[in-house]
């Protein structure tokens, strides 16, 4: 993938905004963007309407670039690493913009991260279909975990290194790639645990809890709103508090209040006590 050069004034401003927001944060003033683009702040308002609208245009563009690059890399496993390394200089403004968006927090960050998760669902599905990636028992949960982990790691690295200019940013991102490539490839290719015991037993616990809840609620686990957006019983039952609040039926909410799901901490403690002899 090669990034096309801007062909219109609006595209030139958008590219300049990505660079400025990546360097200075999302709070950078329009005059900084205008200076970078070689236009007036009034011209930016004329074309985009507002700073928020410019942010949205940057979001859409950056997400599209990331999605295209990931899709190419994940369906062509032999070229993915080389492609990302070869393009890192060109991608620096985009990577920095993503990190600044996450660091900004609030509604903007939540929306941006959700867009990245939604896009990732698409290219991971393509990779699974192509036989490059193994399927998951819960693809939505896996994609969200991987996306948030990658974004969090990147934002942390930029916060710790605090690059002061473009050259330092390039060096920071190169160090990030160099230091994470081997552990990521090992984890993604070989896994971490030596066998499947913990996974298999966790799946048994999940299936038992889900089946019991389905019986107790007589299969009424999803609200009308949940059905409207095609949520599944499994997705809602094992969803986070926001998912439960938005899509769970009153029957499921009442059931979970009396019979909470097994937490990760509780499962790990029980598993360790049973298989490793670790006392609580």
Name the token pair of 49.
């309407």
pLDDT score of 3 more than 70: no
Half-sphere exposure of 163 (CA within 13 A, CB side): 26
| Beta-bridge mates of residue 222 | 248
Query: According to the model, what pLDDT value does residue 245 have?
Result: 93
Query: According to the model, what pLDDT value does residue 212 have?
Result: 97
Q: Which of the four pLDDT bands, split at 50, 70 and 90, describes residue 157?
A: confident
Across the range 260-275, mean pLDDT stands at: 88
d(CA 186, CA 177): 14
Query: According to the model, what pLDDT value does residue 76 have?
Result: 47
Residue 190's CB is within 10 A of a number of other CB atoms, namely 7
Domains of the chain listed by start with CATH number: 9-190 (1.10.357.10), 197-275 (no CATH)
Query: According to the model, what pLDDT value does residue 170 have?
Result: 73
Closest by CA to 261, choosing from 206, 217, 214, is: 206
Query: According to the model, what pLDDT value does residue 78 have?
Result: 38
Query: According to the model, what pLDDT value does residue 110 have?
Result: 83
Across the range 198-212, mean pLDDT stands at: 94
Query: According to the model, what pLDDT value does residue 209 have?
Result: 96
Across the range 9-37, mean pLDDT stands at: 91
């Amino acid at each position: 993938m090669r990034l096309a050069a801007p062909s219109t004034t609006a595209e030139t401003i958008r590219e300049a905004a990505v660079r400025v927001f990546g360097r200075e944060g999302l709070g950078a003033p329009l005059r900084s963007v205008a200076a970078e683009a070689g236009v007036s702040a009034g011209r930016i308002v004329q074309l985009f309407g507002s700073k928020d609208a410019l942010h949205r245009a940057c979001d859409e563009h950056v997400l599209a670039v990331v999605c295209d690059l990931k899709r190419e890399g994940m369906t062509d496993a032999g070229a993915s690493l080389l492609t990302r390394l070869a393009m890192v200089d060109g991608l620096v403004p985009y990577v920095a913009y993503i990190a600044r968006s996450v660091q900004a927090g609030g509604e903007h960050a939540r929306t941006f991260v959700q867009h990245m998760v939604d896009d990732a669902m698409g290219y991971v599905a393509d990779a699974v279909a192509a036989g490059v990636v193994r399927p998951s028992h819960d693809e939505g949960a896996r994609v969200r975990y991987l996306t948030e982990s990658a974004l969090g790691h990147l934002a942390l690295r930029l916060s710790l290194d605090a690059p002061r200019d473009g050259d330092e940013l390039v060096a920071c991102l190169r160090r990030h790639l160099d230091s994470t490539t081997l552990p990521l490839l090992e984890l993604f290719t070989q896994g971490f645990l030596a066998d499947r015991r913990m996974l298999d037993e966790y799946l048994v616990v999940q299936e038992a809890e889900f089946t019991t809840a389905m019986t107790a609620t007589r299969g009424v686990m999803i609200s009308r709103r949940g059905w409207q957006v095609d949520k599944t019983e499994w997705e809602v039952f094992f969803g986070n508090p926001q998912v439960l609040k938005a899509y769970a039926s009153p029957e499921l909410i009442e059931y979970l209040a009396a019979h909470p799901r097994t937490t990760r901490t509780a499962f790990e403690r029980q598993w360790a006590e049973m298989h490793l002899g670790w006392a609580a």
